[in-house]
Amino acid sequence: MRILVVEDEPELNRQLKEALEQAGYAVDVALDGEEGHFLGDTEPYDAVILDLGLPQKDGVTVLKEWRAAGRNMPVLILTARDRWSDKVAGFDAGADDYVAKPFHMAELLARLRALLRRASGHASSEISCGPLVLDTAGAQVLKDGIPLKLTPMEYRLLAYMMHHQGEVISRTRLTEHLYDQDFDRDSNTIEVMIGRVRKKIGKEMLQTVRGLGYRLSPPSGD
């Protein structure tokens, strides 16, 4: 899953990026509204964390322009605790949730997980697919109740596919949602990771749809 952080305070920006990466996300960052707007308008993010008090272009304007352009990714806004009017303006502009500063990182991560689940049609913090269970809070995947040993990138790939199980996902889409913008993207890496994950979960669950991509689905009979 790929997240955009738009926050002009450098230290908080760094802390958010670090916490999100530790939680298993690919993360891009912007320090002002202009850059944030450009990234959100041109890159396919699974969710955005957006500060409202940004230089060059404020967060409400950025969000309104994204929504007017049909960009429908979930957006979690950051607001000052005593500015209830900012929260109202954010929701009216198209925000999905908010966190008031100062905040606990654990709360922000929990709200982000909830947004990502709802966006892909899941309500529970645990997402099941046959014998697999994605524990979004613990950032792990279990098979028959036993945690799988996954590299960070293997976890990111499998978590994305479990959020979108049953869909045929192209190699391009996987590349766009698994890597940040600075990563040296090599499409062959996706094939290698698919092969490794397939060995760990069972080849019958992760199918190649010739010419289209890959699909994760429960074993037949489940």
pLDDT value for 133: 96
Query: What residue has token string 């709200």?
Result: 111
- For residue 222, the model assigns a pLDDT of 55
Q: What predicted TM-score, i.e. pTM, was given to this entire model? A: 0.85
Average pLDDT over all residues of the chain: 92
Q: Is pLDDT above 70 for 185?
A: no
Q: Which of 104, 119, 134 is the last residue of a domain?
A: 119
Q: Does one domain contain both 205 and 184?
A: yes
Q: What is the dihedral of CA 175, 23, 45, 6, to 10 degrees?
A: -130
Whether residue 103 is found in the same domain as residue 30: yes
Residues 143, 79: one domain?
no
Note the pLDDT of residue 155.
94
CB 59 within 8 A of CB 79: no
Q: Are residues 51 and 153 in the same domain?
A: no
Quick one: tokens of 50? 């957006």
Mean pLDDT of 6-22: 96
81: confidence class by pLDDT, cuts 50, 70, 90? low
Residue 222: inside a domain: no
- 170 Cβ partners below 8 Å, 6+ apart? 212, 213
Task: Extract the tokens encoding 159.
Answer: 């978590």
Q: State yes or no: pLDDT of 106 exceeds 80.
A: yes
Do 133 and 175 lie in one domain? The reply is: yes
User: 40 and 141 share a domain?
Assistant: no
165 and 91 housed in the same domain:
no
Q: In terms of pLDDT, which residue wins out, 221 or 109? A: 109
pLDDT at residue 187 in the model: 58
Per-residue pLDDT, averaged over 28-57, amounts to 96
Query: How many folded domains does the chain comprise?
Result: 2
CB 113 within 8 A of CB 136: yes
> In this predicted structure, what is the pLDDT of residue 188?
76
**Which are the contacts of 117, defined by CB distance < 8 A and separation ≥ 6?**
123, 124, 125, 127, 136, 163
By three-state DSSP, how is residue 48 classified? strand
Which structural domain range is residue 156 located in? Answer: 126-216
- Which of 119, 140, 155 is at the close of a domain? 119
Please state, in angstroms and rounded to a whole number, the distance separating the CA atoms of residues 68 and 93: 10
In 10 A of CB 181, how many CB atoms? Answer: 15
